[in-house]
Structure 1
């Protein structure tokens, strides 16, 4: 049944009339007939049915796909570029992919990025690039300390919480180095606006060997790490004279709450997480190859570095000891890694029951078949993301 027509200027009743939606002066939904090709004043938004397990991701701000279909179809043409800078659960990217549009989506939350990536993989999206960019710690400190904040200020705070003594100003113009009292240990706080990787390690070793006559050891405190950091540390072969520790992810939140009242004994700087691979088998036929890649172990950074209460820390420690691979949320394999761009050919994630019937674990062995035959060694790269959003990587050459 049609409701009374809403009074609108410039809309008479003509031939080829269409029904439009609007609100009357009391806010009630009404309909009127119109010949103009305009968008309705009111859209009755669809919603995700609770029983729709395929679409429902339990993400607070998730939008229904039918809504994004309407928006994208009404405003773009095939192969257009769609941008969503608040990606959330990834509905915009997922729908754009289905409708033949190119897309870019971003989000500051690691959980959101993981959900988006899994969602796109699950719908067999074309290959896409996943990158970490941004200066989250810097922006957060600016909001806490004001516009006069400088990177060196944060480094100075971090070094103080680690318990270092300052170096002479002429040797430490950036205020990012200190020393441990009673030893010849140099401590370097890396910048929060870049990834701690091989270049940082080499620079730290050079400083250790040359600054102020040299030091026995250098400790690097980092915020963000390249996926290859574990492999890079091992390859440099520095032993105990080089150590890399993680600045607690919740440190800025705690500084915002406590400020200068935060004491060094309240902050734990923990070791890096890393991945160990198991057996890697390569088998060739006349024109194709198969590859078997197994996970052996995953070592998480200390639970003390995570923002958990004591009860949950205890539970996490038990999982770390009994079933460390259960911490892996997602992992993927590039069988021909070029050292620059990671191209995932195989992947599995928690909740995916196509590879096994266990929704709470990933499979620990990947079977890649039908690979193009290749002469010489294969450089195989494996990347994992754990349930906390931390990433690790392992690379191996297979004859």
Structure 2
């Protein structure tokens, strides 16, 4: 039997290597466009143990964890999968971002012309993903692709379909794997996307002006809706009908035996799709994201192999084309991506759709970290020993030395003392109080550390902790800094190569304007660590607001999930950003907690929350 083999396909004992099937629970970090009434209805259903209403889902995370996590809920329920996986060994996850023009004046939100584009290099987590995919060349790509499509097949309904978008680099290898996973007999079409308007330049070969899309069904029963398109002019065609006697389509004839003709201005679409590529000048659909595909292409896929209300999945979200097109066509959708900037781009794109249905932004959060902790450090049953090993590991990555003899102070870096936050809980005000207390107890000892600088490292931080903790630290005359533990530490290869960087938390200042039960908010300042911003972008920034790409407000934060109830953001067509919200009217008196989320031009988010007394 003919077989495609690659390094890693089989384990040393001869068994076939299989994908990870660890089903971690999702954490909903934000809901978008959800009304207060719908939020309350969801709470009520959850409290009664009943299924909550469907929400479309935008998931930030590695698909090797995300796809297995979807299985308990969605196995056998997804009608259509469209994926556009990386198929070029030169792809490296970099993207072009833009520094918007500076405001014309402090009291005017209008912006002067200008704006600078720069290339944002991939994050370490994206570099690791690239190495996992192409690190051993074609061998690692084929194993990565095989493990992905095995899980995807399990998610499909019995009459479901998968469309895999590739080009000449790996299409021929990938088709053999698809034949293996889905069955040669379930191959339906090789679709050619001919992008006639791509300029190739001066090359010494035939221009490469097409991609291929392989369509496979899960079984011999599958959904297919014929698609037509308008012709440039009406044409005369022979009428074709089905003949029961011959068991085939034949020319229609009248009672005199004459062939019949019809006139039509439509044609049935075949397997060669002549569709334009996105053009740089297109500021409506083109979001300036590399690998972005036109909606007209994905629209054909969705219309052909799904109906309204069906679930459509894309685990290579990118700019969000599949989700946006599915939304416009009345389908339910789930999409995920490893890149933070991809998730942010897709969120803005979806918000630009008139009447977009509520959707959730999710990740695997602390559950992924807990799993990493259990695998990374020995003695999982001995919690204290495990946590000590975890803190020593973090200190090593932070290039700090251990500081024994303390409960809350874990290390020293130069003149700064260091506290390491827990894996499965955010750093809280209580943690800061205890650390500051121990800090001064240590400083009071004759042999204690002589410093007034404290660094707090954490995976997550209690909302508005930066403001509160800085006030506490000032009272104690301590210079306090917060640093984010990057997700990259979960990746062994990133750690081995020293690709770990701890970024200092940004700070946002919000002015509250209140009159009776009416409130508006204004962004007054946004401070980021300049070392985290590429030099080219930093030089183009003359006003703090140029760092802000998006900000949103939850007017009644309930302590669980950020409910996005108002937002302002920049697009290629609309580069201006409103720095003040419209007036928000609270229906009832009471104390309300408000949360503000700010996302910078690199896709990083910062939050701030405060209480309002509405009389």
Quote the residue 2:359 is aligned against: 128
Quote the residue 2:174 is aligned against: none
- Where structure 2 has 5 or more consecutive residues not aligned to the other structure, the ranges are 1-234, 238-245, 253-267, 379-386, 445-451
Quote the residue 1:7 is aligned against: none
Q: TM-score, normalised by structure 2?
A: 0.45
- Partner of 1:130, secondary structure, is strand
Quote the residue 1:326 is aligned against: 546
Q: Is the 8 A contact 1:281 1:292 kept in 2?
A: yes
Q: Is the 8 A contact 1:274 1:392 kept in 2?
A: yes
Q: Is the 8 A contact 1:335 1:345 kept in 2?
A: yes
The residue correspondences of 1:273-352 to structure 2 (distance < 5 A) are 273-282=506-515, 290-300=518-528, 302-306=529-533, 308=534, 311-312=535-536, 315=539, 319=541, 322-351=542-571
- Partner of 2:345, secondary structure, is helix
- Partner of 2:582, secondary structure, is strand
Quote the residue 2:587 is aligned against: 373
Quote the residue 1:86 is aligned against: 316
Backbone CA RMSD of aligned residues: 4.6
Structure 1 residues 77-86 or 111-120, which shifts more? 77-86
Report the CA distance between 1:294 and its aligned residue: 0.9
Report the CA distance between 1:345 and its aligned residue: 2.2
Structure-1 separation of matches of 2:594 and 2:498: 48
Structure-2 separation of matches of 1:43 and 1:58: 26
Quote the residue 1:177 is aligned against: 410
Quote the residue 2:12 is aligned against: none
Count of residue correspondences: 334
Structure-2 separation of matches of 1:240 and 1:132: 37
Report the CA distance between 1:364 and its aligned residue: 0.9
Q: TM-score, normalised by structure 1?
A: 0.66
Q: Is the 8 A contact 2:550 2:598 kept in 1?
A: yes
* Bigger RCO of structures 1 and 2 (CA < 8 A, at least 6 apart): 2
- Where structure 1 has 5 or more consecutive residues not aligned to the other structure, the ranges are 3-10, 18-38, 285-289, 354-358
Report the CA distance between 1:47 and its aligned residue: 3.5
Quote the residue 2:129 is aligned against: none
Q: Is the 8 A contact 1:197 1:232 kept in 2?
A: no
The answer to whether 1:42 aligns with 2:275 is: no
The residue correspondences of 1:1-399 to structure 2 (distance < 5 A) are 13-15=248-250, 42-44=271-273, 46-50=275-279, 51-124=281-354, 125-133=356-364, 156=392, 158-160=394-396, 162-168=398-404, 177-179=410-412, 186-190=417-421, 196-198=426-428, 202-203=430-431, 205-206=433-434, 209=437, 219-223=455-459, 225=461, 228-231=464-467, 233-234=469-470, 239-241=476-478, 243-246=480-483, 271-282=504-515, 290-300=518-528, 302-306=529-533, 308=534, 311-312=535-536, 315=539, 319=541, 322-351=542-571, 359-368=574-583, 371=585, 373-396=587-610, 397-399=612-614
Structure-2 separation of matches of 1:71 and 1:130: 25
- Partner of 1:382, secondary structure, is strand
- Partner of 2:513, secondary structure, is strand
